[in-house]
Structure 1
């Protein structure tokens, strides 16, 4: 597939030894195209976070390969791995993870500075992403001087300023109230639709998942179902997600 930004090829992740072997990820394969907004759902212990950790290079696979823009990231180590992570991956965190002692501009530009990008180019790219996310007026402010929504957008700008191949979000709404969750999910949709960001989001929450365009359901370390939103409304897609959850038995909150 020519447009595949991410290709996960028959990966496995085992923990423990022969006496007590846990297959956290069990022969999973899928691709993510440029500009997709993919959700990964599954019960607690299903392997969804382990899968994300392998893609984000936090963890290593036991076998199989993961390709990002055609590069096999399972072969990278040390400095090459750090360089890849800094250039090709963007991260959206639940609690923003902004540095309190830096202004919004400094928070956003930090990754570019570390990568050795020239100051004039940094200024240009921060200005562009700030305009796109409507945070130009807070660039000189510190996190404590911003609203939660502004902090959220600064965090998104930081994730996007390096022009990453893929943006990864692990349970981004997990600790947020419903209003903040909606704001974050709307912002992820904006990144996807307006800036063509390729997003992979792990979530246990059907409402959050309904913002995605496609969902992979993981159970016992394997993909057991896939949903595509197509031209459906988000409301209809939400109902489809709940149907899949109900097929697994039990209430949504018990399982996901």
Structure 2
């Protein structure tokens, strides 16, 4: 059995790490490279960087920090933000990123997924999906341009159909961002994640809602996701990665121990 992954998420805007609640009201958390260094040292399995306004601003991710991150960490990291072409992806990978993550650009041009897979291999291509539960319709709906609340828009896709589409096009991994849970720290949307797990045969990463160690244990055991992504609990020091991993191991969850020396 593959080890479950703990993945700190760093939302980047204007060269700094920020964090909002339900994709709104972002506050500055700190500088990119020191945070990346800290999480790698604390035992994170990988990192994800989202340039959150790149797509809504019609630009590609700010690459000035990618090579600096690659120089200081020894764990895999993915980069997302307005990547619309194979050439743009190739440049970011050449700077040291291990994976490319696309969200809004794939919704605008689904063929981008298969183009990236053909160019770099399935294992390199991650699809982020921003899924919002509509209480009036009872449906999970896909949104795009969520990094800028003034430009956020609902698409015509329901979440399950979009998951099936991106898997069919060769996506190597899916990060399901549960918008209703984002930043509120009340737990992952296990019901939605379990539903998506049943139709998704590629690695599935849970995102949105982590607030306590038991939330990680629950999403691994009840939704059988491959990894759990979190931001505010790590940024604010609510949960230490070493403590989290030790407790998960205690509960019998297969995970790589955080055995690095903290620096």
Indicate the TM-score class for this superposition, using the shorter chain for normalisation. 0.3 to 0.5
Specify the structure having the higher radius of gyration (Cα): 1
TM-score by length of 1: 0.37
TM-score by length of 2: 0.36
